[in-house]
Amino acid sequence: MFFQRCITPDCRAEYTIDERLYVCSRCGGLLDVERAGPLATDAASLRSLWRQRLSSLATRDRSGVWRFREFLPFDDDTRVVSLGEGNTPLYDAPRSADYCRLSQLKLKHQGNNPTGSFKDTGMTAAVTQARKLGARMVVCASTGNTAASLAAYAARADLTCAIVVPGGQVSHAKLAQALDYGAKVVEIEGNFDACMNAIRDLSRDDSVYLVNSINPFRIEGQKTVAFELAEQLGWQMPDHLVLPGGNLGNSSAFGKGFRELLASGLIDRQPKITVVQAEGAAPFARFYSDHETDFVNEAEPKTLASAIKIGAPVSWRKAWRAVSETGGSVITVSEQEIADAKAMIGRDGIGCEPASATTVAGIRKLVGESAIKDDESVVAILTGHLLKDTDYVMKYHSETLVGPDAQQIRGRFVNKPMRGQDLRNFQDLQD
Ligand code: F0G
């Protein structure tokens, strides 16, 4: 019922669903999973079926990914590897909205997943496929979150897991997760892009399965977030969906999710997808402003938002399709803007890790340029939990945060811990 197809327009080579491939063996292009033939069920029946599953006690029904399994390339009797991912909250965020000069803003918090990031929605599908293919080992390159997520799902599936990370550049929280879940952690000299190259060589072995977002099954799992979001919004799409961009798997997944929802009549229009990158790690934003030229990687990406410190995003072609099809854009924000937006998201009682805050920083910038109007509806995707990088938070609030070019970040929303405060002056704290 499902098959894999190369996305390169003049190739379009097809492969069966169980071929262990990451890119097209004919042209090296990225692969999509596609359905052969039309969907058997209509939109109204699907909506009510998915709603009913929310009250079920079965693992597959309770997972926010497998609940939408009519759109996933697996048979009903597949043994799924699940940690109860998805079903994440869609919050109103009045302070962040005000900061962006919008009348309202919604934040979908993918940090509320089992390992604290959006990666879990893709990992449940990719590790399920790994087990189905009989892989003995799963591997990935990572800036930290993919590593933590893969380590957890591999542990659940009883598979050996090896992850390759840029030495000294991954937050302690993420590394701690991977170690505790039992993954073999290899730190190498160099950045994420060097890790990605190293891992590609490893995955030529047949018993090894690569689960970076170049793997189309990761994208299949992650696309269900578009379904969950549509359901939470009563199937009415917002004008804009804004998300951070690093390796560009998430933007690709949202693009695919909305495209499939539209084609099945579940929604009647797609939101404009806007991708936000950190100024010092922005090859996709550069390509967006001049897409007549070739895509140029960033040799030395720089940002304190370590999750998106990526110069050679593997999925840029799919992400480009998502942005251009929906009429969205790709923009950059500065380290200062990321830091302040992050603190503002915290003030809404929500919080997130630095990479996620590019969204609110980006929305503020787009409203300032009138690219988003104040009465338009906007949803931002927060990709990781506040506790993923507490070192950054503590530095921001103690005014010791220093950017990648040795620039001092002057936090506008600093909340310094008070040491030795005389609590007899308790009144002062209430102001
Ligand atoms: N936000 C967070 C918190 C991330 O961890 C990542 C990517 C992104 C945004 C960017 O998403 O790559 O799909 O464009 N982290 C990867 C990792 C690269 O290894 O954990 P993307």
Any atom of ligand 1 within 6 Å of the Cβ of 308? yes
Residue 424 has pLDDT above 80, yes or no: no
pLDDT band, very low/low/confident/very high, at 419 (cuts 50, 70, 90): confident
Rg for the chain, CA atoms, rounded: 21
* Gap between the Cα atoms of 88 and 272, Å rounded: 21
Tens of pLDDT along 278-288? 999 999 999 99
Q: Write down the pTM of the prediction.
A: 0.97
Pocket test of ligand 1: the residue of 145, 251, 256, 323 to mutate, having most ligand atoms within 8 Å of its CB, is 145
Tens of pLDDT along 296-312? 999 999 999 999 999 99
The residue whose C-alpha atom lies closest to atom 15 belonging to ligand 1 is 307
How remote is the CA of residue 344 from the centroid of ligand 1, in Å? 21
Atom of ligand 1 nearest to the CA of 174: 20
User: For residue 291, what pLDDT is reported?
Assistant: 83
User: For residue 307, what pLDDT is reported?
Assistant: 97
Tens of pLDDT along 331-383? 999 999 999 999 999 999 999 999 999 999 999 999 999 999 999 999 999 99
Any atom of ligand 1 within 6 Å of the Cβ of 307? yes
Any atom of ligand 1 within 6 Å of the Cβ of 355? yes
Any atom of ligand 1 within 6 Å of the Cβ of 115? no
**How far from each other are the two terminal CA atoms of the chain, in whole angstroms?**
63
Tens of pLDDT along 145-171? 999 999 999 999 999 999 999 999 999
User: For residue 203, what pLDDT is reported?
Assistant: 83
Any atom of ligand 1 within 6 Å of the Cβ of 144? yes
* Gap between the Cα atoms of 319 and 323, Å rounded: 6
* Gap between the Cα atoms of 258 and 223, Å rounded: 8
The percentage of the chain sitting over the pLDDT mark of 70, rounded to a whole number, equals 98
How much is the mean pLDDT over the chain? 96
Pocket test of ligand 1: the residue of 30, 195, 308, 317 to mutate, having most ligand atoms within 8 Å of its CB, is 308
Q: 141 in helix, strand or coil?
A: strand
Q: Using CA atoms in the order 38, 44, 50, 52, what is the torsion angle rounded to 10 degrees?
A: -140
pLDDT band, very low/low/confident/very high, at 422 (cuts 50, 70, 90): low
Q: 412 in helix, strand or coil?
A: coil
Atom of ligand 1 nearest to the CA of 140: 19
Choose among 334, 374, 379, 376: nearest CA to 358: 334
Any atom of ligand 1 within 6 Å of the Cβ of 247? yes
User: For residue 309, what pLDDT is reported?
Assistant: 97
Atom of ligand 1 nearest to the CA of 222: 13
Query: Can you spell out the DSSP letters for 58-71?
Result: SHHHHSTTGGGGGG
Residue 384 has pLDDT above 80, yes or no: yes
Tens of pLDDT along 108-127? 999 999 999 999 999 999 99
Pocket test of ligand 1: the residue of 215, 320, 383 to mutate, having most ligand atoms within 8 Å of its CB, is 383
User: For residue 421, what pLDDT is reported?
Assistant: 67
Pocket test of ligand 1: the residue of 121, 143, 150, 356 to mutate, having most ligand atoms within 8 Å of its CB, is 143
Any atom of ligand 1 within 6 Å of the Cβ of 143? yes
Tens of pLDDT along 369-378? 999 999 999 9
CB 257 within 8 A of CB 286: no
Tell me the average pLDDT across 261-273: 98
Residue 85 has pLDDT above 70, yes or no: yes
Pairing of strands 14-16, 2-6: antiparallel
* Gap between the Cα atoms of 59 and 73, Å rounded: 18
How remote is the CA of residue 427 from the centroid of ligand 1, in Å? 43
How remote is the CA of residue 308 from the centroid of ligand 1, in Å? 6
